Structure 1
């Protein structure tokens, strides 16, 4: 059994150590994960990805609770911290697998040809990987000429990008928000809030910075977990784009009395985005998939979904 210093434990719990660094520091846990994944595969589980996500998110959540309640007790940390490390390894390995499988070139450095790369850079990005609001008309026109459509999202996923926002979507969201105080949780690089501020929306971006190994957080994204941010700002509207599947933070939105409207941008697949257990259990909010808003997410997919939760008036 490994012993961890309190400082190391705090950094791992706060996701302040990258997965790549953890792999170097604790290779034995990577080997354990690989053995466990092989065992899961051999069970012929019909939905293997769901099974992996369920297994490791549950074990990490339980371990986090045990450690938190113990006040970083040395024995408890040594017993349960490896479960959190292993969960991060497992999700990381799934992400790498997704990139390889989606690209269909797992043994090569995947990249766009000059034609695709030039068009997509001008359509989707201001510079580098800084996204811009996308013209829906231009996108629809040029998208049909892109040869390797299937590698776009796996490539940008590595930069913490899971969708692109059309100008039309930003306009629609601005109309929904109006003059209300708005908070974005799990905001990542803050792109959505940045676009809404461009429409003069009163919106603030927050994130717990747990994805620093992928995302470069700009200064305007306040470092705060969702629970504390909701308590601090008491927003009327809350946004979340691509929330982690089976996350532990969306439930706090529905417990915040000031919130009248919650907008989730994600997918219809619970294995990819969202805390569907909470979605399906809330009784003080109505829930709908807005088909029009979903159609304004890019790239287009039948799996895209924008959920609107409205507080039921008493």
Structure 2
């Protein structure tokens, strides 16, 4: 059994150590996880994947609670910290399985032909992989001419890009935010905050991320390194926005616990196994917030998908 210092335990609990570093430090736990994930080789059903994710997420939450309640007791750390490490391994490795499967199912090797590449580069990006607000009119015209549509998202997923934002979506989100102080959590490369600030005269949306996805994302300087809980405490925002929050994450619950928050906007999917902490959503809807699935805003996420979802949470009694 590995020995953990209190400092190391605190770093792991705060997600300050990247999962790839954990994989190198604790190979014995990686081996345990790989044995269980080997089941996926013979059974690719989504229900099994969901069950494994749910199991590891639940175990990690329980372990984290035990450690915090013990006051960082040494024996409790030794017992429960490996559970958290193994959970991180499992989620990370499942991400790799998903990306590899997507690539295998589309093409070998996965790439765009010159025709599709030229259209998509001009339609979706400013340069390289820097996204731009997309004209719906141009999208409707050119998207139908792309021959291998199913190759786009598996390719860009590998760079931490999970959707594209249409100009009408940015405009309507800006209108919802108004002049209020806005914070984006889990902002990735900060594209959404950048677009929102460019579309508003008094643009003041602050982009933050804990930088835990450095294996996918190149973080620009304007994205402040801070986990969601720290950022919420530091800025006391009136509006919070999050695009493609990790499924069953541990950070969205802090949004609903922050007294300054009047409005929370989530851009993601209807599938709890893909994005979002739906347990926190349901608890918030039953307590201090109302929850709305906005069909129009959901339709403005690109490329179009029936699974896309924009959820809007308003604090009860706020009136806006």
* TM-score, normalised by the number of residues in structure 1: 0.89
Map Cα deviations across residues 144-187 of structure 1 (whole Å, 9 max, x no partner): 22222222222212211111111111011111111111111111
Please give the alpha-carbon distance, in whole angstroms, between the structure 2 residues aligned to 1:15 and 1:109: 34
Question: 1:289 and 2:293 equivalent?
Answer: yes
CA RMSD of aligned residues (A): 2.6
Paired residues of 1:16 and 1:212 also in contact (CA < 8 A): no
Structure 1 gaps, min length 5: none
Map Cα deviations across residues 270-302 of structure 1 (whole Å, 9 max, x no partner): 111111112112222211111111011011100
Question: 1:278 and 2:264 equivalent?
Answer: no
Give the superposition deviation at 1:268. 0.6
Paired residues of 2:106 and 2:151 also in contact (CA < 8 A): no
Report the equivalent of 2:250: 248
Please give the alpha-carbon distance, in whole angstroms, between the structure 1 residues aligned to 2:17 and 2:237: 31
**SS of residue paired to 1:89:** helix
Map Cα deviations across residues 77-120 of structure 1 (whole Å, 9 max, x no partner): 44333323322221222212222222335894422122222221
Question: 1:122 and 2:122 equivalent?
Answer: yes
Give the superposition deviation at 1:7. 5.6
Which of 64-73 and 295-304 deviates more? 64-73
Please give the alpha-carbon distance, in whole angstroms, between the structure 1 residues aligned to 2:13 and 2:102: 31
Please give the alpha-carbon distance, in whole angstroms, between the structure 2 residues aligned to 1:295 and 1:185: 22
Report the equivalent of 1:205: 207
Report the equivalent of 1:192: 192
Structure 2 gaps, min length 5: none
Alpha-carbon distance change, 106 to 8 in structure 1, aligned in 2, over 3 angstroms: farther
Alpha-carbon distance change, 4 to 136 in structure 1, aligned in 2, over 3 angstroms: same
Paired residues of 2:183 and 2:207 also in contact (CA < 8 A): yes
Report the equivalent of 2:153: 153
**SS of residue paired to 2:213:** coil
**SS of residue paired to 1:104:** helix
Which of 72-81 and 228-237 deviates more? 72-81
Alpha-carbon distance change, 248 to 141 in structure 1, aligned in 2, over 3 angstroms: same
Report the equivalent of 1:223: 225
**SS of residue paired to 2:313:** strand
Paired residues of 2:247 and 2:273 also in contact (CA < 8 A): yes
Alpha-carbon distance change, 210 to 70 in structure 1, aligned in 2, over 3 angstroms: farther
Question: 1:234 and 2:236 equivalent?
Answer: yes
Alpha-carbon distance change, 44 to 120 in structure 1, aligned in 2, over 3 angstroms: closer
Count of aligned positions? 314
